């Protein structure tokens, strides 16, 4: 055989060996098939530690790291029986702003053209004060698209004066007259701090 034919035959054998290696699922950089991977397991543990250590600890270690804190949850269940109209051209589009000790917590989504509505929205409070020192203020407003929102009425829920906190009625007043009601609940929830 000529030297060129021998060289060509050698390249073909190397190419065939590479193709067979690919078909077997192994490469020059490490094992990829199941049998070869099992042989590497002791070396992986020695190098990298156990699977749990590689992922940052066992479940029991993770559980010890978490802390729970209590927060106060205020739920507005519904608005009922709005009697005061603020616009002459359209029906009331009510929403409720919620405050705790004069701090605005947020507002519910406006409901369109109604005097009663199911709300089911929650607000959460984390306070360093004793929760009995909180006084909740609810301002019922009418959403206006062209001018400022109109105040329909407001009401209070003083946690220091209430024994029951589930499904309580807050009477909303305007200039001494009742103009509607809210159905609310107040409770404590545990949240996980990570």
Place of tokens 């519910």: 108
- 82: closest CA among 180, 192, 153? 180
Residue 99 is encoded by which pair of tokens?
A: 């405050």
pLDDT in tens, 135-168: 999 999 998 767 778 889 999 999 888 888 899 9
Check pLDDT > 60 for residue 35. Answer: no
Which pLDDT score, from 0 to 100, does residue 52 have? 47
DSSP 115-134: SSEEEEEEEEE--SS-GGG-
Q: Which of 30-34, 105-109, 130-134, 181-185 has the lowest mean pLDDT?
A: 30-34
Sheet holding 135-142, edge to edge: 103-107, 94-100, 135-142, 150-158, 168-174, 177-193, 67-80, 117-125
Which pLDDT score, from 0 to 100, does residue 18 have? 46
pLDDT in tens, 76-114: 999 999 988 776 667 889 999 999 998 999 999 999 988
- 157: closest CA among 124, 183, 123, 192? 183
């Amino acid at each position: 055989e000529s030297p060129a034919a021998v060289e060509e035959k050698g390249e073909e054998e190397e190419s065939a060996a590479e193709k067979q290696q690919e078909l077997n699922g192994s490469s020059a950089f490490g094992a990829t098939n199941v049998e070869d991977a099992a042989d590497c397991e002791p070396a992986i543990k020695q190098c990298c530690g156990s699977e749990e250590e590689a992922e940052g600890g066992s479940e029991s270690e993770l559980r010890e790291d978490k802390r729970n804190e209590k927060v106060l949850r205020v739920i507005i269940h519904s608005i009922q029986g709005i009697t005061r109209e603020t616009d002459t051209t359209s029906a009331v589009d009510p929403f409720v702003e919620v405050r705790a000790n004069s701090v605005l917590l947020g507002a519910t989504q406006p409901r369109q053209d109604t005097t009663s509505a199911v709300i089911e929205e929650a607000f959460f409070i984390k306070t360093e004060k004793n929760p009995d020192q909180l006084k909740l203020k609810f301002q019922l407003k009418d959403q206006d698209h062209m001018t400022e929102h109109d105040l329909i009425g407001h009401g209070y829920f003083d946690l220091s004066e209430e024994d029951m906190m589930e499904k309580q009625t807050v009477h909303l007043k305007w200039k001494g007259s009742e103009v509607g009601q809210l159905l609310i609940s107040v409770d404590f929830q545990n949240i996980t701090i990570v």
